[in-house]
Every structure is written in C-alpha cells, then in structure tokens.
Structure 1
Amino acid sequence: MMKIYPKSNENDPYRNVNPRRKWLMITLVIILGLGTVIYSLADRYLIRHVQVVVADENTATVATGNVNDSSSTSTIPTEVNATSDDWNYSSDDMQVKIDKVQTGSGSDQITYYVADVQLSDANSLRSALADNSFGTNITENTSEIAAANNAIFAINGDYYGFRDDGVIIRNGTVYRDDPVRDAMALFSDGTMKTYNETEVSSSELLAEGATNTLSFGPILIQDGEIVSDFSSVKIDNNFGNRSIQDANPRTAIGMIAPNHYVFVVVDGRQDDSRGMTLAELADVMKGLGATEAYNLDGGGSSTMYFMGRVVNNPLGRNQERGVSDILYLKEGQ
C-alpha cells in the first residue's frame, strides 16, 4: 500500500525550524503583541501628555499642613475683611455656608454636603488645572490644586483629562473644541447655562461671555425643570467605565440666581452613605432652588475642600483620588 504524507506548507515560515525554537519564536511574538497592547493602554490612561503649560498667576504664599487638619487654612489676602469657621466664610465679596446632611438609615443612609455660595463678582469663581498644565493623565488631588491656587473653597471638576473630546474653555481660553455631549458654561455676568455642545459653538459661547465650560454631565436641571430621563446617560467610551445611573458618590453644581450658586458633594460606596442616583441628585438640586444644575465627575473623584481641609470622605477612607481640574473660589483679582 502506498503511503501518503501530508504536503509541506511552503508558506509556513517555521517549516524548517526546530520545534523548541519555533515555540520560543511564537512566545516572543505573543509577548511583543501583549507589550504593544499594554503600552497603548498605559499611553492612553497613565502616561502624562502635556499639551499646554498654563502661566501660574499665584504669587502669594500658600499655607502648608495636612489638608485634612482643620487648623490648616488657605491664604487670604491681608486686605480682605473676612470672618470664618469650619463651615462658614464671609467677606464683603463672598459668603460661603456649608451644611452636612444625612438622610435615611442603615443601608439606605446618604451623607452629602451642600455649599451655598453668594458672590458679588463672578470672577471669584474660577477653574484650575492639575500642575498648571492642560493635557491627558495629568492629575493632582483636589486639595493640592486648591492649595496651590489659594482657594477658599473648591470641588473637583469634570476630569477632562480622562477624555479626548468635549469643549473645554477654562478662564476664557479654549483648550479643546470637539463637541459631543451636553455641557455647562459659566459666564462673566454670574450666570450658568446648560447646553448641547453640538448646537452652540465655542466662539458663540465666548461672545456671550463664557469664562469656563465643563464637559461631563448629564444636565440635572434646565430652565428650572428636572431633566426627566436619566436611563440612558453616556459620558464616554473609555476603558474601565462603570454605569453612572446607580447610586454613586456625586459632585454637582447649580445656580439659584446670578452669582448665587449651590455645590453638592455626595459620599458613597461606604457604610454610612450609599451615594445617590442621578434622579435623587436632581431632586436635591431642585429642592435647593437651583434653576440650572449639572452633574460633574463623581465616584472616587468627589471631593469638597474648604479653608485648608477636605470636608467630605473621598473613597470612603478619607483618601482623595487625583483629578485633572477643579472649580474654586478665591478673593481678589
């Protein structure tokens, strides 16, 4: 009987290679492939990419000390006539009142913080970038950015650096112009507006006096009414995202009237606070009198800073997570 042998594949580059060496080569190819993937992920989510270095306008000395120590305070210009304690600040140009609120009990308990802010000059509400730089994967703790900018009060922003789209205007400068989602703008007349980035251009916003835009969402209250449907919220498509519809730590900003704002930070994912759903957060903002309200970056980012200390309990263990930007209050020009 004639034996039939399988035909050699002339296109097989490994046909004349020693089997052991062949497996070593295949293993090397796999390792190189995995390395490329790992580097690509690190480049996207870990490696700093500075696009713009922002001039540092802060020349005053910043107070030092543990940011969680209530004895540590922010630097206030000596010419400012102000009074303050752990929960209040009052000067000729700014009033800040912070309340800690707890609702529910047991596994349904929620702990959140409300800062009622009234300003005489909209310029007192500003934004700041981590390390004074715009780009991706540039992060510092909210308290660190706040202290570096002599902030009296601060909250985390939209973590723009985790995405590469959106319309990002900060302190009157356009850093990114890629409209994709519902956003929020602050204006020089002390007003706040929620809008769709694809329907209003950055040039229109600047012409109207926009000083800062934040691109996260969703919109909670628009024109005095709660946005009805939070069931299909989508912020971005980045790796590792979790649903934001469920109860989570939250950060939000609302406007009651021009130069009268309300900031809410909700603790979550911990024993004494489960967090809030978007619908619950909208209800809180409505109850506080907000006519416009907008959800900012939450989860481990949610942080409220006041007079040199972190007010809430980030990550459920008094440990902040680095962010790319903050909104803050400061006296003077």
Structure 2
Amino acid sequence: MKKILSKPYRWAALYSIILTGAITFTLVDTFVLPKSITNISAKATESKTIGSTPSTSNSKSSTKDSSMKSETQETATITDKSYVDENIKITIETVRKYNSNIYVADIQISNAEYLKTALANNTYGRNITATTSDIAESNKAIFAVNGDFYGFRDGGYVLRNGISYRNIARSGDNEALVIDKEGNLSVVAESEVALDSLSNKGAWQVLSFGPGLVENGNIVVNSSSEVGQAMSSNPRTAIGQISKLHYVVIVSDGRTSDSEGLSLLQLAQEFKERNCTTAYNLDGGGSSTMYFNGEVINNPTSGKSIGERKVSDIVYVGY
C-alpha cells in the first residue's frame, strides 16, 4: 500500500488518467462531436446553377421556373417502381442474384441540373449527419442514395454543386468521381490532379470514396479488390453512366441471412451488363440506402442493427 501511494506510482497513475482522457477526447472529437464549418444555404443560393448566367434581377424568372417545375411534377406519372415527367424518367427494378437483393434504378434526365448532391442539414463539417431519407425530403428529392460520407474522413476532395469545400487529396491511390456540368461521369486519381484543376475543367460534383468499377466500358476491379479491410460481400451503393444524361444506380442489401451482399467485382459486372461506360463505388455497408418517391425501398443494415445510418451527404435526382 505504501508503494502505491509513493511518488513514482502517483505520477504513473496520473499519467495513465491523462493519457486515457486524451485518447477518449480525440475519439469523441473525431467521430461524435459535430463541427459545422460552412452553412451552405446562403452560399449555394448565390452560386450559379448549371448553364445559368449572372443576373441581379432574376426573381421573376426564378418564380416562373419554380411554377413550371411544380406543374411538371403535378402531372408526373408515378407508380411504386417508376416516375415519369417531361424532364425526368426513373424506373426501379429489384433483382435477386448472388444470394442478394439488388435494387437497380435506370435514370434519364433532360438536363444535368436535375442530377444533384446535398449535405446533411445543409452544412459542411465533421460529424454533421442525417439519414438519407431526411436529407432527401429536405431537398424534395424524387430519388436519392447515400453519397461518399465525406465527414468520416479528413481527406478526399469535396466539390458539391460547383462549390469547393475540401481540396485535400486522400493518401494512396484513391480515386474520385467527377460529374461535370454536362452530367458526364469520370474517374480520376486524386494524387494526379488538383481539385482546382478539375473545377476549372468543368467539374460540378466531386465525390471521394471509390474505387472506380468501370472505365471506358471496361471493368477495372478484380476478385481481390475491396475497400480497405472490408468483407468481400457487402451492402453497396454505386452509380454509373450509360450515355449522355442516362444513368444507372445500384444499391444492394447485405450482411444478413436473406441478402449476402456483393463484391466489388460482382457490382462492376452488374454495371457492365447494363452497358455502362463508367461506374463508381460510393459509401456502402450500413450507409447503403435507396430512397424513391418518399420511401426507403431497400433494407439498410450494418449487420448488427437494422435501419438507416446517418450520413454526411446524398446524391439525388429532383428539381
């Protein structure tokens, strides 16, 4: 007992307490405490939309456009598996394959402005999260999937709706998805090109997760490809392009007895079979969520808990 109370032991105990507290704070600060860096509402409102020209007196034009869009949506033909209006056509197919439930959305739009992204709570920052369905409803999305969960990492390019939020490349050979102002998808290596350069060349959205699945019509992953140390079969979310303004989005359930999940190669093969020239893997696992016409249509799960995981951002189609 005397030894425990002696000075060296007291210092050791104090050091252990301080070290434990520091580690705990770092973990909580990194993964739990929300940190708002930029509220995008005002900034996004001021930014130009795709193909628009600056104007100081466009309120009447905006009101007219909003009215026309509202009328378009009111006259849309909607079923539980489809949405069609004069600008947007979406059909949903459910496929049973690889002992998994796979949800495939075929999307055609008349203008690139209808393919968008949104951040949780309209805020860029660390640990700012909401469910995919909540973010979708806040932005009146017709269709949405989870994005790249940028807030879970300190690196990785973040360019959304023409606004640059983070220009720090992820280490290693990480690949980013670029969606340009024409709505075309491409995959780039972050280590080889700066975000400013991408923006100057017409990038409108840049998401950082990966890897690329299909490039120039060819599958670019193999049976050993995986995201970090993840299991080979997982819930997945990915987006691909068939032709101009024609996309395929795939979400698979996984980590359950009913649905095993897909490998990256199996996911890539699904896009290849649908004639996609480019396809890219977004955040998966418990994040994988497909929202359509006001409902979550897949079964999100982390393998331990059932239900939507809160995420940083979404990719969506809407007005």
SS at match of 2:269: helix
SS in 1 for 2:191: coil
Deviation of 1:228 after TM superposition, in Å, equals: 4.0
Q: Which residue of 1 aligns with 2:71?
A: 79
Q: In the alignment, does 2:165 pair up with 1:175?
A: yes
Check 1:82–1:161 CA distance in 2 against 1; reply closer, same or farther (3 A cut): same
Partner of 1:184: 177
The Cα of 1:135 is off from its aligned counterpart by 1.2
* Closer/same/farther in 2, CA of residues 54 and 194 from structure 1, 3 Å limit: same
Partner of 1:153 in structure 2? Answer: 143
Partner Cα separation in structure 2 for residue 127 and residue 292 of structure 1: 19
The correspondence of residues 154-303 of structure 1 with structure 2, limited to 5 A, is: 154-180=144-170, 181-229=174-222, 231=224, 233=226, 243-244=229-230, 246-303=232-289
What residue number does 2:313 align with? 325
Larger radius of gyration: 1
Q: How far off its partner does 1:231 sit? A: 3.0
Quote how far apart the aligned CAs of 1:96 are: 0.3
Runs of 4+ in 1 over 4 A off after TM superposition: 232-235
1:64-107: CA deviations, max 9, x gaps? xxxxxxxxxxxx95311311011100000000000111125xxx
Please give the alpha-carbon distance, in whole angstroms, between the structure 1 residues aligned to 2:210 and 2:11. Answer: 49
Report the Cα offset of residue 179 of structure 1.
Answer: 2.0
1:260–1:166: structure 2 CA closer, same or farther, 3 Å change rule?
Answer: same
SS at match of 1:300: helix
Describe the SS at the equivalent of 1:92. coil
CA contact (8 A) 2:223 2:263 kept: no
Match in the other structure for 2:65: none
Structure 2 SS opposite 1:314 = coil
In structure 2, the partner of 1:113 is 103
8 Å contact kept, 1:246–1:277: yes
Identity, % of aligned positions: 42
How far, CA to CA, are the matches of 2:101 and 2:225 in structure 1?
A: 26
Assess, with a 3 A threshold, how the Cα gap between structure 1 residues 307 and 292 changes in structure 2: closer, same or farther.
same
- Per-residue deviation at 1:187? 1.2
Q: Which consecutive unaligned segments of at least 5 residues does structure 1 have?
A: 1-16, 59-75, 236-242
- The answer to whether the Cα contact below 8 Å between 1:231 and 1:245 also exists between their aligned partners in 2 is no
| Distance in 1 between residues matched to 2:223 and 2:153, nearest whole Å | 21
SS of the residue 1:55 aligns to: helix
**Matched residue SS, 1:166:** coil
Distance in 1 (alpha carbons) for counterparts of 2:231 and 2:265? 9
Is the Cα–Cα contact under 8 Å of residues 226 and 264 in structure 2 kept in the other structure? no
Q: Does 2:44 match 1:44?
A: no
Which residue matches 2:40? Answer: 54
Distance apart, 1:318 and its partner CA: 4.8
Equivalent position of 2:85 in the other structure: 91
Superposed CA deviations along residues 267-307 of structure 1, whole A, max 9, x for unmatched, are: 00011110000111011110111100000000000000011
Q: Letter of the aligned partner of 1:142 in structure 2?
A: T
For these two proteins, the number of residue pairs brought into alignment is 287
Q: Report Cα offsets for 1:180-208 as digits up to 9, x if no partner.
A: 32111111112111111122222232222
Q: RMSD value over aligned CA atoms?
A: 2.0
